[in-house]
Amino acid sequence: MTIKDRWQALTWTWNPKSVRESSDSVVRNLLLHWFPAKVSRASLSYRYSLWLGTISAVLFFVLCATGLILMFLYVPSVERAYPSVKDIMFVASFGGFIRSAHRISAHLMVAVVFLHMMRAFLTGAYKNGLGVNQNRPVNWVLGVVLLFLTLLLSFTGYLLPWDQLAYWAITVGTNIASAAPLIGDKIRFFLLGGNDIDQNTLLRFYVLHCFVLPTSVLLLFSWHMWRVRKDGGLAAVDREARKEKEKKSTSIKSKTYSLLGITSGRTVAVETSYVDQDENLVESSPNLTRRLLFVTLSTILISIALAFLVQAPLEEAANPLVTPNPAKAPWYFLWLQELVTDTTIHIGTFTISGALVGGIILPGVLGLILAAWPYLDRSSASATGVWFARERRRQNIAFLAVVFVILVLTFVGTFMRGPSWHLYWPWEQWPPTPTRF
């Protein structure tokens, strides 16, 4: 057997030559076994899903790959953490690039997962469509939990360099968490492993960042993808099925069978089936696999390009006695820090705690409403899988308004907050202020 024949034997599942080979490729290939034999043309559209879920998954695996390399060089010790990061950046071959790629991918993953959630909301993808036994609201809740875990994953990694930027960002973040009534101090004590940020804190954040949170994300991601398959694919499938049914096509009379006999009820695939549906279906391999490879390679290349252009920052070693002015939380929590400031109100000698109102109550209520929204939304199934459906106009506007406020608060906290947390226009120069000791 020639080298060419061996290569074709290894790669034929990714480039089948016939319809039969396309079906066999899904069964023969472990990676392709994740997908059905055929998929809807609508679900492959870049315009519908923007492939944000795939991009999020690729970024997560880039983080795992680069993080594994960094683990061989990083030392989770207060005395050696900062020097080991310096060695990674300036001594180890390509160490600075690996760290930059890891940091860029982490920031991109936070942004892309948030955009993925926005896409799911604006298309009504959390709603059940025509198929029976669908449970898309549960998958939406899983997505909200994955967003929260993504934020924690990035937050726990923020401390590991043990420089001034990391130390005081974690200080601000944990101080906001401590404002939670009854359990705030316990949460802060649990995160820090004590009352101060020290060796216990670094070790806890290291274990959470390198094992607990990645494992949780991987398990929930698998569950999330399994539910997509159980729900009949992306919500675009329900949208296309509804369009065909509106043409008064006669439904296919079919039965569903299990290995042991006839099942009760009808499956998602049968319920959404319609005449000439094969015209709207294509083989997963190579139609889906080619797009998957394109999105994967594009995501990796963009991450690499940004890693070359933007070097991961490293400030002076952490010093609890020197407080930077201003001290800011990580960028994805800056809207919370700004909200804390804006909701701190002084009325004579009485002060309304912004840390409680803006840091705990408002985001807590917002998170609960977000998770429960699929069960509160009373729009019809015809709004499932439709961008900006008319009957969901008000809730889409309300959702976008909340997103706009979060973005504005993030911008203000990032570019307009200067020394002593005073407001400055982006083009104004900050007055020289001594570092607080």
pLDDT tens readout for residues 394-408: 999 999 999 999 999
Single-letter code of the amino acid located at 66: T
Domains and CATH numbers, the chain: 38-273+282-421 (1.20.810.10)
Could you tell me the sign of the dihedral formed by the alpha carbons of 192, 198, 202, 203, in that order? negative
pLDDT tier, 427 (very low <50, low <70, confident <90, very high otherwise): confident
- pLDDT tops 50 at residue 274: no
| Torsion (CA) 394, 109, 203, 312 in degrees, nearest 10 | -130
Q: Is the pLDDT higher at 344 or at 161?
A: 161
66 pLDDT above the threshold of 50: yes
Residue 275 has pLDDT above 50, yes or no: no
Residues 42 and 123 sit within 8 Å (Cβ to Cβ): no
Report the C-alpha dihedral over residues 206, 211, 217, 221, rounded to 10 degrees.
150
Residue 5 pLDDT greater than 50, yes or no: yes
Band of residue 372 on the pLDDT scale cut at 50, 70, 90: very high
pLDDT confidence band for 1 (50 / 70 / 90)? low
Both tokens assigned to 393: 């106009």
Mean pLDDT of the chain: 86
330 closest CA partner among 20, 110, 68 = 110
CB atoms within 10 A of CB 297: 11
> How many residues are there in the chain?
437
Position 352 pLDDT exceeds 80: no
Mean pLDDT confidence for 5-10: 79
What is the rounded distance in angstroms from the CA atom of residue 392 to the CA atom of residue 382?
10
Count of other CB atoms within 10 angstroms of residue 27: 10
What are the tokens at 42? 């609508």
The CA distance from 92 to 83, in Å, is 12
Please tell me the distance from the alpha carbon of residue 283 to that of residue 304, in angstroms, as a whole number.
Answer: 32
Range from 99-108, 245-254, 285-294 that averages highest in pLDDT: 99-108
The reported pLDDT for the residue numbered 63 is 96
Residue 176 scores a pLDDT above 60: yes
DSSP 351: E
C-beta separation of 371 from 138 below 8 A: no
Mean pLDDT of 412-437: 81
Is the confidence at residue 280, as pLDDT, over 80?
no
Confidence of residue 322 (pLDDT cuts 50, 70, 90): confident
The candidate with the shortest Cα–Cα distance to 203, out of 301, 300, 75, 115, is 75
Angle separating helix axes 334-342 and 164-177, nearest 10 degrees: 50
Weakest-pLDDT range from 162-171, 269-278, 343-352: 269-278
Residue 225: count other Cβ atoms within 10 Å of its Cβ: 16
